[in-house]
Amino acid sequence: MGTVSLPSFGSDPATVNAANLDGKVDPLATEFNGSIENVNIAAGAAIANSKLNLSSISQAIAMSSKELLFAKGADVASSSSIALGTDGNCFDITGTTTIQTITAKQAGTVVHLHFDGALTLTDDTGNLELQGSDLSVSAEDEVVLKSDGTNWHLVSHSVRKGIFEFVSATAISNDATVAITDLESGYDYLFSFQNLLPQNDGVSLEMRTSTDNGSGYDEAASDYTDGTDVAETSLRLSSATVGNATGEGYSGDVTVFNPGDTTHTHVGGVGIQFATDGTVTAATFQGKRNAAEDVDAVQFFFSAGNLASGNLHVFRRRLS
């Protein structure tokens, strides 16, 4: 009990009766209830959940070296007006129906929403205050909202528009080709090669596009325009002198601009190439697919032999 101070009991009464007993016990109970501290609570003690109500607390809740565990509530189906449960602060929103209103919660409440499908949150029609414009979310997006008791205010939207987000990192090891499939509409893609070494000496890095997710790649005589010609079977990204000795090879960034759009897919970038004689030059390149197509896969390869070694990092940038 350590910190609980015993009160003054006064002199012993001549007779032990209820009144006298109360007079001795009550001050002790009052003192104990008023002075209970952490050290007075047994390590195994549990607070009955039916008694745990923090609504009257008017001071900061402080912790050290512990985490605050939030709960995920039941999924909520999207509709013009939705109500979030009281079973958590994190919710999955299912479906693709536009949302205008979310039933209000106590001012200061913060909720984290994860969207399973693409939909629109409408600004200022119901009680959503989304910084002046409707918010289009995609599947896997995260949105944080804060309630003022009536309206919900947008705190953050996880999608990082305008900057490249990381997709993958892969080590290349004696591969005939490297293909990146499942390219989605509405994104630019950046393919960054590091220390790419060809199997054969004196070759060029090439690229082709696909509209069937890599089942086949366009390779007809006039399918591409690049810095070499307007009628090529592939896009040439380097000169035909990339060396295969240790320390030679190619490093560079290849940007494919919104390949999913049904236009002539443009490609550009810059790299450095170490030639067969050990010299180094800049490899700027530009080109396009000579047809308006929704490209959904690209393929890289050397003009002869395999891609012996190196690394490929893939990034993408959302456009809207």
Partner 1 sequence: MANLVISAKNKTVTRVDLTPTQVKAHEDRARDHDIRVANERAKVNEAKLKKAKFLNTLTKDQKDGFEAILKYGIDT
Query: What are the residues binding partner 1 (CB under 8 A)?
Result: 167-168, 170, 172, 174-184, 189, 200, 202-204, 214, 240, 301, 303-307, 312, 314, 316
Contact (Cβ atoms closer than 8 angstroms) between residue 288 and residue 262: no
Distances (CA, A) of 217 to 51, 68, 242, 246, 297: 67, 51, 24, 31, 8
Closest CB to partner 1 among 109 and 177? 177
104 vs 159, beta carbon nearer partner 1: 159
Smaller CB distance to partner 1: residue 107 or 176?
176
The helix or strand, by DSSP H or E, that contains position 205, with its residue range, turns out to be: strand 205-210
Residue 23 makes CB contacts below 8 A (sequence gap 6+) with 10, 13
Of 245 and 304, nearer to partner 1 (C-beta) is 304
Q: How far apart are CA 94 and CA 71, in angstroms?
A: 18
Distance of closest approach, residue 93 Cβ to partner 1, in angstroms: 21
Instruction: Kindly tell me which of 76 and 175 has the beta carbon lying closer to partner 1.
Output: 175
CB of 202 to partner 1, least distance (A): 7
Cβ 2 to partner 1, closest distance in Å?
56
Q: What secondary structure does DSSP assign to 40-51, as a single string?
A: GS-TT----GGG
CB of 135 to partner 1, least distance (A): 23
Residue pair 298/187 in contact (Cβ under 8 Å)? The answer is no
- At 191 the three-state DSSP class reads strand
Give the nearer residue to partner 1 in terms of CB position, either 204 or 244. 204
What is the closest distance, in whole angstroms, from the C-beta atom of residue 134 to partner 1 in the complex? 25
Q: Would you say 91 or 187 has its CB closer to partner 1?
A: 187
CB 119 within 8 A of CB 137: yes
Residue 258 beta carbon to partner 1: minimum distance, rounded to whole angstroms: 13
Strand 205-210, strand 297-302: pairing:
antiparallel
Return the SS3 of 31: helix
Cβ burial 86-99 (10 Å sphere, 16+ → b, else e): eeebebebeeeeeb
Write down the least CB distance from residue 187 to partner 1, Å. Answer: 8
Rounded alpha-carbon distances, angstroms, from residue 233 to 133, 223, 286: 45, 6, 15
**Residue 185 to residue 318: CA distance in whole angstroms:** 9
Q: What is the DSSP letter of 26?
A: H
Instruction: Please identify, using beta-carbon distances, which residue of 76 and 259 lies nearer to partner 1.
Output: 259
Q: Closest separation between CB of residue 98 and partner 1, Å?
A: 25
Please say which residue, 91 or 250, places its beta carbon nearer to partner 1: 250
Q: How far is the CB of 42 from partner 1 (least distance, A)?
A: 50
Nearest by Cα to 108 from 150, 52, 53, 59: 150
Sign of CA dihedral 171, 177, 181, 184: positive
